[in-house]
Amino acid sequence: MKRLLMVIVLGLIGAMVFSTNVWSLGRKTVIKIGINAPITGDIPKVGEGTKYAAQMWLADINKAGGIEVGGKKYPVELVIEDNEAKAESAVKANTKMITDDEVLFIVGPQSSKQAVPAGDVANNYETPMITPWSTNPDSTKDRPYVFRGCFLDPFQGPVLANFITEEFKFTKAAVLYDVASDYPKGLAEFFKQAWEKIHGAGSVVAFESFTTKDADFSSQLSKITKSGAQVLFTPQYYNEVALIVQQAHELGWKNPIVGSDSWGSAETVTLCGKDCYGQFFSTHYAAAGAKGETKAFIDRYQKEHGYVPDDVAALTWDSLRLVQKAIESSGKITGKIKKDRKAVRDALAKIKNFKGITGDMTFTEEGDPIKCAVIVRISDKGEYEFYKSVCPN
Amino acid sequence: MDLFLQNIVNALQWGSFYALIALGYSMVYSILMLFNFAHGDIFMVGAYIGFGIATALLGFAAMIGLPLPGWLILILTILFSMFFTSFVGMLIERIGYRPLREAPRASAAITGLMIGIILETGNLALLGARRLSFPALIESATYQFGGIFVTNKKILIVLVSLSLMYVLHLFIQKSKWGMAMRAMSFDFQAVPLMGVSINKIAPLTFAIGSALAAAAGILYGLAYPVLDPYMGVLLGWKAFVAAILGGRGSILGAALAGFLLGFIEIFVAWIFPSTLRDIIAYSIILLILTFRPHGFFGQAHSTQLRL
């Protein structure tokens, strides 16, 4: 009985393998792009932005009749997998897309929490992957097959230090950050390093911290206010930004307050109100005051989906366009997935001065783009206005 | 010097919250000899109820086209929220604690933790993880005295807290119910024989403690206008520390220790690097408890509600 069962199972497996082979021989080569996105889970809005941007890109490709490689047009198919905003699901989704769906390229996952482990899978299977939104250095570190579409955390510190120095000619800065959270802590330290490199040791006159869940910063802010600092840098998330900025004003702080891309949520202004008007932060792109292709993308997205796209959608769009360019310049699609994956990866690594809607990009050895950050000013109506583009030296 | 005075002002505001919340811990302890670990979450519920009432009143005022002044809405919000939250407290007593009154103390303490989690996640399920912004009911005004900045909110918070504590003091010392509570805290086996039912005194204690927590929640919403379902957890723990520091069951001790805790946190963050704030602040408290294991006003095995 057992043996019979074995035979049946083996026979079925054999039939399946055989049949898929026959099937794939008979059809035309299709370029499959995998999308690993948080469609459900904690951050469904991020997943939605990813999906919409990908569908808009696909519509463009279909209109053009496919991607042209070596004088021949290939149709494109999207494989969208939900990672539920969880690390283990993102790993599963990547494995499935690489081994079952045989995708040529993976776009996503978005958050570092998923991109870091999922990038490991992609790199092990030698499948190129680009994460549009993950700013953590570990996502791409020592992984030749993993790229990203945005700048890194260590880059924002110097960018903001340079911006404040040039814009306001200030020489003394204060920093307030959450010591229990990786992102603000890292960024606060990068900023301090960069600032002291420009203005000398001791030019960060107050380097104060608190821990996650704190709501009262009066002691730290009193110290900062009396320290003679001309600007306050606080790389916090939107709920803390509201409390810090309001309390600073109540304690007599009148100078600018500057933040990082974690300020970028629309919630910042909802919670913070008028106190945040006129403050600055660095981010990936600014919707208000955009020009050229960026504006065209925003208008189109808004027309199709009814709201202004956030940075995730814009970065996903740029990442897909980068993938497209890499495929186009890879020379030839052989149909042998392993070979094609390598060719496309090499082509992407060679791309120089790519004109994206979130800025020009050139990849480094690590697969991180050299690109400019956007400085946003929160306008007197609470909108995020493009103020200046700051590029790495 | 400026910084010193400024931090006194800061600490008075911050200590008010600890004091108001610690009072609830202490009152329940003096009657039932257990710490209601859901108390921090009752504070959160009070803040959310206050948010709902304030929003409803603002909407109502806009609807009938009558611009109600902000201070009136604030007073109504505090009163209504205290009223409704006291029912939440009584409900928790009825459902969570009364069935376990004869059970081992550990079971009752665990009940508090579970009710706390239910309140947090219930709120999360009801309203989602999005933070709410507490409406600014009164126009913020900052006054400057020399180098010291004081806002009208800070003055209001400290005044309202102190007057609530004074009203509580009067209630416990002068009223018949207050006397019953004091008697109950001396001996909760003999007092029922005198015709005072524990089933009336226990809910009353929970109601008063919860009302104070609700008032703290709204004042907190004014000062730190970002509400989230877990806002009461850390504050509740720290207020619990204040209740122990004041001496278990001592109302005056809880209020004073609440302010002391606020002062220690603020001044440690001022004098030392702020990264070390909690390490140093809570080491100091540990040291105090080493030398005064029963807190400032507590006695060994004391269950007295004293003022």
pLDDT at A42 over 80: no
pLDDT digits (tens, 9 = 90+) for B229-242: 889 999 999 999 99
CA distance B286 to B82: 33
Domain extents in chain A: 29-151+292-371, 154-283
B66 is a domain residue: yes
pLDDT at A311 over 90: no
B33 is a domain residue: yes
CA distance A316 to A115: 14
**Mean per-residue pLDDT over chain A, rounded:** 87
One-letter amino acid for residue B264 of the chain: I
Q: What is the pLDDT of residue A203?
A: 94
Between the alpha carbon of residue B103 and those of residues B27, B32, B106, B202, B251, the distances in Å are 20, 12, 8, 16, 26
Q: Sort out which chain B residues have CB atoms less than 8 A from A271's CB and list them.
A: 131, 133, 225-226
Q: What is the pLDDT of residue B307?
A: 44
pLDDT digits (tens, 9 = 90+) for A232-270: 999 988 888 999 999 999 999 999 999 988 887 777 888
- How close A140 gets to chain B, by Cα (Å)? 31
Between the alpha carbon of residue A91 and those of residues A81, A86, A111, A144, B2, the distances in Å are 11, 9, 13, 18, 55
pLDDT at A24 over 50: no
A208 and B147: CB-CB below 8 Å?
A: no
Residue B41 structure tokens:
């979450």
- How close B213 gets to chain A, by Cα (Å)? 17
pLDDT at A19 over 60: no
pLDDT at A21 over 60: no
- C-alpha neighbours within 13 Å on the C-beta side of residue B171: 14
B95 is a domain residue: yes
Stretch B248-269: mean pLDDT = 91
> pLDDT-derived band of residue B88, with 50, 70 and 90 as boundaries?
very high
Whole domain around residue B102: which residue ranges?
A: 2-291
A29-151+292-371: what fold?
Rossmann fold (3.40.50)
B3 and A210: CB-CB below 8 Å?
A: no
Q: What is the DSSP letter of A141?
A: T
Choose the closest CB to A251 out of B149, B225, B275: B149
Q: What is the pLDDT of residue A12?
A: 66
**Which residue matches tokens 């509580």?**
B168
Residue A230 structure tokens:
């001309």
- For an interface test with A, give the residue of B13, B18, B226, B270 to mutate (most A CBs within 10 A): B226
CA distance B182 to B66: 46
Counted residue by residue, chain B has a size of 307
Q: Sort out which chain B residues have CB atoms less than 8 A from A222's CB and list them.
A: 3, 6-7, 10, 270
pLDDT digits (tens, 9 = 90+) for B287-299: 999 998 888 887 6
pLDDT at B303 over 70: no
- C-alpha neighbours within 13 Å on the C-beta side of residue B84: 17
Provide φ and ψ at A211, rounded to 5°.
-120, 155
pLDDT digits (tens, 9 = 90+) for A107-163: 989 888 889 999 999 999 999 999 998 888 888 989 999 999 988 878 888 889 999
Q: What is the pLDDT of residue A244?
A: 95
B16 is a domain residue: yes
Q: Are A48 and A39 in contact (CB under 8 A)?
A: yes
pLDDT at B209 over 60: yes
| C-alpha dihedral, A78 to A79 to A83 to A89, nearest 10° | -150
Q: At what angle do helices B39-63 and B70-92 cross, to 10 degrees?
A: 140
Task: Tell me whether the CATH fold assigned to A29-151+292-371 matches the one assigned to A154-283.
Answer: yes
CA distance B127 to B132: 9
B165 is a domain residue: yes
pLDDT digits (tens, 9 = 90+) for A285-303: 888 777 888 889 999 999 9
Q: What is the pLDDT of residue B208?
A: 95
B38 is a domain residue: yes
B188 is a domain residue: yes
pLDDT digits (tens, 9 = 90+) for B105-120: 788 888 899 999 999 9
| C-alpha dihedral, A276 to A278 to A279 to A284, nearest 10° | 110
- C-alpha neighbours within 13 Å on the C-beta side of residue A351: 32
Q: Are A37 and A46 in contact (CB under 8 A)?
A: yes
> pLDDT-derived band of residue B218, with 50, 70 and 90 as boundaries?
very high
Query: If you classify domain A154-283 with CATH, what class do you get?
Result: alpha beta
Stretch B100-104: mean pLDDT = 84
Q: In CATH, what number is assigned to the domain containing residue B45?
A: 1.10.3470
CA distance A342 to A357: 26
